[in-house]
Amino acid sequence: MIDQIVKELLAQVVMYSYDGNKGVIEDYRGNLDELLQVTPDDVNKLPEHLQPDLTGKYVKKDISVKEIGQYLLFISFQASCFAHYDLSNRKRKQPIIYGAATTNEWVVREFIKDKENNPCIYKGLPLHTEYRVFVDIDTKEILGMNPYWGPAVMKQRFGKEADANDPDMVHDYVIYSAHEGTLMKRYQENKETVYKKVENLLLFLNLRGQWSMDIMQNGEDFYIIDMALAKDSALQSCVPKGMIKAVKEDWIPRISENYWPSERD
């Protein structure tokens, strides 16, 4: 069983490296020396407190924080290049880079260890009971709630799409079907608790508009792990027709006409 778990963890992530001088992202899958590959045996030889919860199929043993940071910086630079384009009637039409991917904020997510020994789908994702709750923060109202891993949606995804015969999809269909009863039992037992917790939370949220909130159960604990605009979220069938409002997104900054002093002359 330990070997099976380790192999599943090792199959999850591929390590990439960014060479800032060449401007190339290198994929280690095709050229990693066998001596640099971390095997299940390597992991098992580590002291238990050093064994990674999540690792990769190929992990460079001398990987550094600096190298990881260079790759993240490259992603940020690319995002900045595409974030805004000068579409005015000025003579020069060129990308305008004005920050790290339009923001100087970074979000770091804490890894939550599975307390329930759940089986995994999607090449290593523990299949927790999750609740998708649609809320209107302006009216302090819950619009509806669904199980995130609902049977109809998941069996359609794993068993009836074009890639249904793919080994990974077959694996996930079997795992989900075996765990479905546990997921739905937990959902039914705790949905009222989640509803009340979200209802109380709405009084303190400093946001506007309608959102979907994904809440993951881990033992007796509940975590908000994701949020999105309600209009862009799947599983809206639990919301009464006509309740989801259209939202006009307007995230492009306004640049003053005085920004280009040389062009005023």
pLDDT of residue 153: 94
Bridge partners, 37 (sequence order): none
Q: At 123, is the pLDDT very low, low, confident or very high (cuts 50, 70, 90)?
A: confident
**Residue 260 three-state SS:** coil
Least confident range of 9-18, 68-77, 149-158, 179-188: 9-18
58 with 124, same domain: the answer is: no
Would residue 142 count as lying in a domain?
yes
127 with 211, same domain: the answer is: yes
Domain boundary at 46, 63, 80, which?
63
User: How many structural domains does the chain have?
Assistant: 2
| Burial tier of 13 (Cβ tally within 10 Å: 0-12, 13-18, 19+) | middle
Enclosing domain of residue 15: 2-63
pLDDT of residue 108: 72
Closest listed residue to residue 160, CA positions, set 150, 171, 173, 147: 173
Give yes or no for a contact between 111 and 53, defined as CB atoms under 8 angstroms apart: yes
51 with 138, same domain: the answer is: no
126 with 53, same domain: the answer is: no
Would residue 112 count as lying in a domain?
no
pLDDT digits (tens, 9 = 90+) for 174-207: 999 999 999 999 999 999 999 999 999 999 998 8
Distance CA 147, CA 129 (A): 8
pLDDT of residue 200: 94
134 with 59, same domain: the answer is: no
Distance CA 18, CA 11 (A): 21
DSSP 54-123: S-EEE--TT--HHHHHHHHHHHHHHHHHHH-B--SSSS---B---SSTT-S----PPP---SS---EETT
DSSP 38-49: PPHHHHHHS-GG
Would residue 99 count as lying in a domain?
no
pLDDT of residue 67: 65
pLDDT of residue 248: 78
pLDDT digits (tens, 9 = 90+) for 219-250: 999 999 999 999 999 999 999 999 999 887 66
Would residue 162 count as lying in a domain?
yes
Closest listed residue to residue 145, CA positions, set 178, 190, 203, 182: 190
pLDDT of residue 46: 67
